[in-house]
Amino acid sequence: MIKFVLLIVGSFLSVVLHGQSAIVPQPVNVTYGSMFFDITASKIRTTTPENLSFEIDYLRASLRERAKQNPSEVFRSDSLSIPIVLQLFNPDTLLPEGWYSLRTSENEVFISATSKTGIFYGIQSLLQLCTLRGDKRLVVQETLIRGDFPRFAWRGMHLDVSRHFFPIEFIKRYIDMIALHKMNVFHWHLTDDQGWRIEIKQFPKLTEIGGWRNSSMVGHYSEHRYDSLRYGGFYTQAEIREVVQYATLRKITIVPEIEMPGHAMAALTAYPEFSCNGGPFTVPGKWGVFDDVFCPKEETFQFLEKVLDEVCTLFPGKFIHIGGDECPKTRWKTCKNCQKRIQDEKLKDEHELQSYFIQRMEKYLNAKGRQIIGWDEILEGGLAPNAAVMSWRGTEGGIEAARLKHPVVMTPGSHCYFDHYQGNPRQETVAIGGFTPLEKVYQYDPIPADLNAEERKYILGAQANVWTEYIPNKEHVEYMALPRMAAMAEVLWSYPEKRDYADFFRRIESLEETYENKGFNYSVSFRRPQITTFSKNGELRMKLDPPSPDKQLNYRILQADMSILLPAQEGKGEIPISIQQVPQERMTIEAWIAGDETKTVVGFLPLFMSRATAKAVTLKTQPSKHYPGSGSGTLTDGVSATLPRINSEWLGWSGDDVEMTVDLGAKMSISEVSIGQLVDHMNWIYEPSAWKISVSEDGLNYQAVATQLSPKSTLRKVHFKFIGKNARYVRIEAKNPGKIPDGKAGAGESSWMMFDEIYVK
């Protein structure tokens, strides 16, 4: 199928002439003319009105919304407007799934397709081609799309409604978002530790008890803070039916996820008898992974089968997602039921027990005509015979599954996790971590390069996941999903040879009109330039990266009181910070796209300069390859690392003592040294057990000047004050505290130490 499709692409490559119209995702081919036609009061015609009644109503309502007019004023007979014709025809050739064509001319707008799905996609393209003029007329540009269709069959968006709950009205709005990007799968993550969200008639406590918690984490996980508010909610089966119908009409299949055997705390709080030790449990307000999971005993399987019976009556799609991720084996190792099952079934270990669990559920669902899909952990201990795999811990799981001839949906954290930051964390509200800006999503290709042509056929597509630990409300879902959803949509719809980020960036500007029309709270972080600093020959430089390669930038530098130190000027790439370096001076670099005042989005980077800034640092022991920063220069780049951490701003060592020596370049009198440190015991990162600061004039003979922190020290930044010394070299030694103590996360493992900016006064 893929080969066939590629042939078609090759034969009608498009020419984009000019004009401001834009479609996202980019069609297989599209040509724009110079004329615009009025569709303010267009009549919608079709030869198959009974088949297309939903599509006609949808188009009519969307045009009304687009024109923002009083419905009674619209669709009166208006001789200025051309008709819109929808034509459903039976293909005599094999056209790809979802195919449509679209032509706008002075006579009519003509959309044809071989399926209602194709008509719907044609409508989405038409809606994006509309422009509302100043005189309130809705016009559409002269356009020819000779044939457009998606590259991948699975174009998915996921939403976690357990960590935070979103009512049915918002779920419909989310489906609208998915539909307008021509995506076709909604992965509804309905159950997790922090809340069970789907009514199950045979087990009412799942939602009565499992749907509610008495606290939630506040701020980032690393802060370990909680509120004490009751929080929860669930969907009734009637509501779910309504959503399924809503999605189906919009050509979207819902894949429900019922998590097992892990992420089950909410279910186990309601029915502790399905755990290994019987509980009692509470629905946790803490995020993460919990040791208490479903116990693979007969009663549990019967329970889950009854749950899935009801799930299957609600969701008609082929795939049922059974989770399978992040299931600790702690309880299973000491549970006599679990150990007996391992013996009876002649299983090697608890991983094979997990595989047994999943295979049992698969058999049950297969018998009901359904196929399971699970997170890539379901590969461990042996993949169930008919399972599809969702590759999230990188691409390896997907590669392995494709080689085993199993269907794969790619969703690696690096490119597909929309709970990650999309901009500099200094300018974003708190997120889980990571850095997945719009361009990174756009550059993703779901086909791993390692796969051969035969294996590639098993890649169904990809999806983006919206986990909601740090996404408490619907506005924030929209903010995290848009416009990254547009980038993912284009990754999945458009062929690689049609994809160009600068062009996409331009088309996004026109998509924003659609977002604004719908009132979506989309992010504009993608328009912020990226600012980094580094040193070259002892001089501090900045690097200004425009958000799109063809954009010019302006930048300026502000002082601590926000007065202007360096007025705005044009420039990008590497630029020396040609400011007289005043020790201890705070400055802020600001940069923005030049020439578009209405869309200015400023990127900024605060700097803190000292005698050490831009000076060379020698490390006795190199940091871990996982946390190398941009080399030792990261310690003197003028930028204090952030929390939540951007890994590239911190240097990290595991188990090692650390010795850092700064060459100030010349002898000078100094009396204060400080350094940033990261302390996060949950993540195995500890403060040193001892410090030593020593100084030297010649780089050979060092004199210790401090081993005690000064009172100014905090957990984030430690200070050392000493009697003034003449020195050119400053050495900081930090002793590793050794193995992590019992009772702490990572007990028995080596402690990490993480450091960043060094200041010398």
Segment holding 508, helix H or strand E: helix 501-518
Residue 178 binds to Zn ion (criterion: CB under 5 A): no
Q: Please, what is the minimum distance in Å from the beta carbon of residue 331 to Zn ion?
A: 6
Tell me the helix, strand and coil percentages in the chain, rounded to 5: 30, 30, 40
Q: Please, what is the minimum distance in Å from the beta carbon of residue 467 to ligand ACM?
A: 6
Question: 365 with 304: CB under 8 angstroms?
Answer: no
Structure tokens at 312: 């299957």
* Among candidate residues 193, 207, 215, the one with its CA nearest the CA of residue 235: 207
In the list ligand ACM, Zn ion, none, the entry touching 295 (Cβ below 5 to 8 angstroms by class) is Zn ion
Q: Would you call 192 a catalytic residue per the annotation? A: yes
Residue 392 binds to ligand ACM (criterion: CB under 6 A): yes
Considering the candidates 326, 503, 512, 585, report the single residue annotated as catalytic. Answer: 326
The full DSSP string for 631-652 is BGGGGGSS-PPPSS--GGG-EE
Residue nearest to ligand ACM (CB): 325
Q: Please, what is the minimum distance in Å from the beta carbon of residue 358 to Zn ion?
A: 16
Tell me which of 375, 458, 515, 653 binds ligand ACM, using CB under 6 A: 375
b/e burial code for range 674-684 (CB count within 10 A of at least 16 → b): bbbbbebbeeb
Structure tokens at 150: 């998606």
Question: Which of residues 38 and 325 has its CB atom nearest to ligand ACM in the complex?
Answer: 325
In the list ligand ACM, Zn ion, none, the entry touching 326 (Cβ below 5 to 8 angstroms by class) is ligand ACM
Q: Please, what is the minimum distance in Å from the beta carbon of residue 295 to ligand ACM?
A: 21
Q: Please, what is the minimum distance in Å from the beta carbon of residue 488 to ligand ACM?
A: 16
Give the binding range for Zn ion (CB under 5 A) out of 218-226, 333-341, 356-364, 503-511.
333-341
Give the integer Cα–Cα distance in Å for 171 and 441: 23
Q: Please, what is the minimum distance in Å from the beta carbon of residue 411 to ligand ACM?
A: 8
* Among candidate residues 667, 666, 671, 664, the one with its CA nearest the CA of residue 725: 671
Give the integer Cα–Cα distance in Å for 152 and 493: 6
In the list ligand ACM, Zn ion, none, the entry touching 265 (Cβ below 5 to 8 angstroms by class) is none
Question: Which of residues 31 and 337 has its CB atom nearest to Zn ion in the complex?
Answer: 337
Side chain identity, residue 108: E
3-state class (DSSP) for residue 668: strand
Tell me which of 335, 441, 589, 607 binds Zn ion, using CB under 5 A: 335
Residue 326 binds to ligand ACM (criterion: CB under 6 A): yes
In the list Zn ion, ligand ACM, none, the entry touching 337 (Cβ below 5 to 8 angstroms by class) is Zn ion
Question: Which of residues 155 and 158 has its CB atom nearest to ligand ACM in the complex?
Answer: 158
3-state class (DSSP) for residue 96: coil
Considering the candidates 192, 193, 439, 756, report the single residue annotated as catalytic. Answer: 192
The CB density around residue 604, as the number of other CB atoms within 10 Å, is 17
Structure tokens at 494: 């458009």
Give the binding range for Zn ion (CB under 5 A) out of 54-62, 221-229, 270-278, 447-455.
270-278
Strand 459-464, strand 154-160: pairing: parallel
Please list the residues that pair with 536 across neighbouring strands: 539
Give the integer Cα–Cα distance in Å for 630 and 640: 14
Question: 255 with 157: CB under 8 angstroms?
Answer: no
Structure tokens at 413: 């954290």
In the list ligand ACM, Zn ion, none, the entry touching 176 (Cβ below 5 to 8 angstroms by class) is none
Side chain identity, residue 30: V
Q: Would you call 326 a catalytic residue per the annotation? A: yes
* Among candidate residues 366, 292, 283, the one with its CA nearest the CA of residue 322: 366
Q: Please, what is the minimum distance in Å from the beta carbon of residue 604 to ligand ACM?
A: 32
Q: Please, what is the minimum distance in Å from the beta carbon of residue 332 to Zn ion?
A: 5
Structure tokens at 612: 């050490």
Question: Which of residues 326 and 697 has its CB atom nearest to ligand ACM in the complex?
Answer: 326
Give the integer Cα–Cα distance in Å for 752 and 652: 7
In the list Zn ion, ligand ACM, none, the entry touching 165 (Cβ below 5 to 8 angstroms by class) is none
In the list Zn ion, ligand ACM, none, the entry touching 335 (Cβ below 5 to 8 angstroms by class) is Zn ion
- Please give the residues from 337 up to 356 whose contact with Zn ion meets the rule CB under 5 A: 337-338
Residue 188 binds to ligand ACM (criterion: CB under 6 A): no
Residue 126, phi then psi, degrees to nearest 5 = -60, -45
In the list Zn ion, ligand ACM, none, the entry touching 442 (Cβ below 5 to 8 angstroms by class) is none
| Count of residues near Zn ion by CB under 5 A | 5
Question: Which of residues 293 and 658 has its CB atom nearest to Zn ion in the complex?
Answer: 293
Question: Which of residues 100 and 186 has its CB atom nearest to ligand ACM in the complex?
Answer: 186
Question: Which of residues 332 and 375 has its CB atom nearest to ligand ACM in the complex?
Answer: 375
- Please give the residues from 276 up to 315 whose contact with Zn ion meets the rule CB under 5 A: 276, 295
Considering the candidates 263, 406, 415, 476, report the single residue annotated as catalytic. Answer: 263
* Among candidate residues 80, 78, 4, the one with its CA nearest the CA of residue 37: 80
3-state class (DSSP) for residue 422: coil
Question: Which of residues 47 and 334 has its CB atom nearest to Zn ion in the complex?
Answer: 334
Tell me which of 97, 108, 325, 513 binds ligand ACM, using CB under 6 A: 325
3-state class (DSSP) for residue 325: coil
- Please give the residues from 627 up to 666 whose contact with ligand ACM meets the rule CB under 6 A: none
In the list Zn ion, ligand ACM, none, the entry touching 408 (Cβ below 5 to 8 angstroms by class) is none
Question: Which of residues 346 and 625 has its CB atom nearest to Zn ion in the complex?
Answer: 346
The full DSSP string for 538-573 is TEEEEEEE-SSTT--EEEEEEETTS-EEEEEEE--E
**How many alpha carbons lie under 13 Å from residue 520 in its C-beta half-sphere?**
27
Q: Please, what is the minimum distance in Å from the beta carbon of residue 309 to Zn ion?
A: 23
Side chain identity, residue 585: E
Give the binding range for Zn ion (CB under 5 A) out of 27-35, 268-276, 636-644, 751-759.
268-276
Question: Which of residues 121 and 186 has its CB atom nearest to ligand ACM in the complex?
Answer: 186
* Among candidate residues 304, 329, 320, the one with its CA nearest the CA of residue 373: 320
Quick one: 500 exposed, middle or buried, by C-beta within 10 A (0-12, 13-18, 19+)?
middle
Question: Which of residues 477 and 605 has its CB atom nearest to ligand ACM in the complex?
Answer: 477
Strand 319-323, strand 371-375: pairing: parallel
Question: Which of residues 207 and 411 has its CB atom nearest to ligand ACM in the complex?
Answer: 411
Give the binding range for Zn ion (CB under 5 A) out of 56-64, 272-280, 407-415, 572-580.
272-280
Cα angle 239, 242, 243 (rounded to 5 degrees) comes to: 90
Residue 396 binds to ligand ACM (criterion: CB under 6 A): no
| Count of residues near ligand ACM by CB under 6 A | 4
In the list ligand ACM, Zn ion, none, the entry touching 657 (Cβ below 5 to 8 angstroms by class) is none
In the list Zn ion, ligand ACM, none, the entry touching 675 (Cβ below 5 to 8 angstroms by class) is none
3-state class (DSSP) for residue 103: strand
Q: Please, what is the minimum distance in Å from the beta carbon of residue 295 to Zn ion?
A: 3
Cα 96 off chain centre by: 29
In the list ligand ACM, Zn ion, none, the entry touching 392 (Cβ below 5 to 8 angstroms by class) is ligand ACM
* Among candidate residues 179, 71, 203, the one with its CA nearest the CA of residue 128: 179
Binding site for Zn ion (CB under 5 A): 276, 295, 335, 337-338
Binding site for ligand ACM (CB under 6 A): 325-326, 375, 392
Catalytic residue list: 192, 263, 326
